[in-house]
Structure 1
Amino acid sequence: MLGLIGIAVIFVMVFGGYMAAGGKMEIIFEALPFELSMIAGAAIGAFLISNNMHVVKHTIKDLGKVFKGAKWRTEDYQDLLCLLFTLIRVARNSPVELEAHIEAPETSSIIGKYPKIQADADAMALICDTLRAASMNYNDPNQVEEVLEKRMEALLSNAQHSSHALQTMADGLPALGIVAAVLGVIKTMASIDQPPAVLGKMIGGALVGTFLGVFLAYGLVGPFSARVKAVIDEDQNFYQLIREVLIANLYGHAPNLCIEVGRQNVPGGLRPSYNTLEEALKSTKAAA
């Protein structure tokens, strides 16, 4: 919703200010289809040349993040802490029972209580692989922690491909706007024998290209890239939470302490309160 409001503000203030200053929209509307087709078409073509199909699909999908925001909410962080608490208790009490849950998470009765987490392949891989490593009796938790750190870096790097692709497009749009403007000037020079009123209109149409390139770069595509990156960074906290809790478990801390370590690492605006989480954990114990 905030993204739509931001776009509306941009258009109202830019074009509203232009018209309030006495500018006429007619020249923009006449040139817009041609200039936009050149600039947007070239930008999309360059985007396709510089990225593989995986990044293209990823970027199209991630555009929704501009309007939807982060995937994980406060209740999801609470559910994750409850799930990890249950799995850690099972691992401590019955490693054999845990194996059935981490080897087939899609059929696990414990994980199945949290379908949104269960449906996230990255979260499931982190949880199951780390618990599997713990069951193999690693003597050095630092070794698992180092592996997890590298995995988190790779996960973040892969998630940010779409943001980088959008920013590259934003960086190129002003230059593409100049290309469209130069073509407009070439067209104008070919009609140099026309009266000044006609030439002025043609030059104005050419300058629309420069305007569109800068406007699209700094008014839309650049902010889209920044927003996608911000959402990805925010969602990354969910996976960092998994890392913090399971590393604490590897060091042999009590399950409740492991969960509190995780709760403290949840971003402030999404962190469940101590009392709320405590009640949820009690309910989880009672249902076990």
Structure 2
Amino acid sequence: MLVLIGSLVVLSCVMGGYLLSHGQLLALWQPNELMIIGGGAVGAFLSANSSKIVKGALSNIAALFKGPKYRKQDYVDLLALLYDIFGFIRKQGLMSLEAHIEDPQASSIFNAYPRLLKEHELIEFITDCLRLMVGGNMNPHELEQLLEVELESHQHEAEAPALAVVKTADALPGFGIVAAVLGIVTTMSQLGGDTSQIGEHIAGALVGTFLGILLCYGFVGPLGAAMENRVHEDGKAFECVKVALLASLRGYNPKVSVEFARKTLSPHTRPNFQDFEEHLKGARAGASA
């Protein structure tokens, strides 16, 4: 929603300042310039990226208007899920977890958190890590290195659509110059004719440069930055899982392992300790009933 508000502020202030300086809005309406700049940028975007990145960019742009992917309650559920897994390991042993990680959809542990179960990438990351712990006999240092590589690969793939949009934004001033140069070419062909038309063509050429810069720094560039920030914020859930699993593997009890993981979350989305305690008390009360 802030993306939309920010875009409206940019448009209102730029157009408002132009009108206050006695500018004419109709002089900025240059559909040919828009076609050159917008069409050129879209074509370059399609040429430079795979279909997966193009679809990912469209999906990520739509997601910006839906708010954050993980909210505070989702992190409470994630911490509680990790706590339940570690508690199960302490009571039943690590090998007993194999049936749960092979089919999370049928697992009583994972099914207690239906919202998280829909996040297939996150659940797959959790189960893959647990599978390594069950069958790999790895020490914490070895697992940490492997998880770092896994997270880096995941982050790189998730950032690709945002970076593609940022690169397209960087190209917009160049397409604005292309539109301006073509406008000058048209102007030169009108020399010796009606001077009023020559003035219109020059104005149109200047508008091309203006639109390229405005679209870059006022709309498309901030859009790509917002997509990139969202990717970093969503990645906190994976970092949280990594820290919790490593703490558990090092021998910390479930509550301490989960507390380590809680500290990795951003302050504005991090559930406080009381939120988590109340969630656990509610879960115990429900189980005893």
How does the TM-score come out when normalised to structure 2?
0.95
Asked if 1 retains the 8 angstrom alpha-carbon contact of 2:179 and 2:208, the reply is yes
Q: How far apart are the structure 1 equivalents of 2:281 and 2:133?
A: 25
Give, in angstroms, the shift of residue 112 of structure 1: 1.7
> What SS does the aligned partner of 2:271 have?
coil
Q: Counterpart of 2:161 in structure 1: which amino acid?
A: S
Q: Which residue of 1 aligns with 2:98?
A: 99
Residues 127-276 of structure 1 correspond to what in structure 2 (within 5 A)?
A: 127-136=126-135, 138-276=137-275
Task: Name the structure 2 match of 1:9.
Answer: 9
Given the alignment, which residue of 49, 53, 59 partners 1:55? Answer: 53
CA distance in 2, matches of 1:3, 1:169: 18
User: What is the Cα deviation at residue 3 of structure 1?
Assistant: 1.7
Shift of 1:139: 4.5
Could you tell me which amino acid in structure 2 is paired with residue 279 of structure 1? E
Q: CA deviation at 1:69?
A: 3.5
Structure 1, 271-280 or 241-250: larger mean CA deviation: 271-280
Equivalent residue number for residue 107 of structure 2: 108
* Residues 177, 211 of structure 1: 8 Å contact kept: yes
Note if contact 1:86-1:284 (Cα within 8 Å) is conserved in structure 2: no
Task: Give how far 1:64 is off.
Answer: 2.1
User: Higher mean Cα deviation, 158-167 or 257-266?
Assistant: 257-266
Q: Which amino acid aligns with 1:20?
A: L
Q: CA deviation at 1:283?
A: 2.8
In 1, the alpha carbon distance for the partners of 2:138 and 2:12 equals: 62
Native 8 Å contact 2:181 2:205 kept in 1: yes
- Following superposition, the deviation at residue 65 of structure 1 comes to 3.6
Question: Aligned partners of 1:144 and 1:256: how far apart in 2?
Answer: 21
Q: Which residue of 2 aligns with 1:283?
A: 282
> Quick one: percent identity of the two aligned structures?
38
Query: What CA distance in whole angstroms lies between the structure 2 residues aligned with 1:155 and 1:283?
Result: 34
Tell me the distance in 2 between the aligned counterparts of 1:99 and 1:41: 53
Aligned letter for 1:85?
Answer: Y
Answer whether contact 1:237 1:266 (CA < 8 A) is retained.
yes
- Distance in 2 separating the partners of 1:246 and 1:224: 34
Indicate conservation of the 8 Å contact 1:192/1:199, yes or no. yes
Instruction: Specify whether residues 203 and 224 from structure 1 end up closer, same or farther in structure 2 by C-alpha distance, changes over 3 A only.
Output: same
User: How far does the alpha carbon of each residue in 1:79-138 deviate from its partner, in whole angstroms, 9 at most, with x for none?
Assistant: 000011111111222245422211001222221222221111221122111112222262
Q: Which residue of 2 aligns with 1:20?
A: 20
Unaligned runs of 5+ in 1: none
For 2:286 and 2:96, the matched residues in 1 are separated by 17
1:57-84 Cα offsets, whole Å, 9 max, x none, are: 1111111243333211111110000011
Structure 2 residue runs of 5 or longer lacking an equivalent are none
Once residues 284 and 154 of structure 1 are traced to their aligned partners in structure 2, the CA distance between those partners, rounded to angstroms, is 35
Alignment CA distance shift 1:44-1:65 (3 Å): same
- Alignment equivalent of 1:42, drawn from 40, 43, 54: 40
| Aligned residue-pair number | 286
1:124 counterpart residue number: 123
Q: What is the RMSD computed on CA atoms of the aligned residues?
A: 1.4
The CA deviation at 1:48 is 0.7
Aligned match of 2:88 = 90
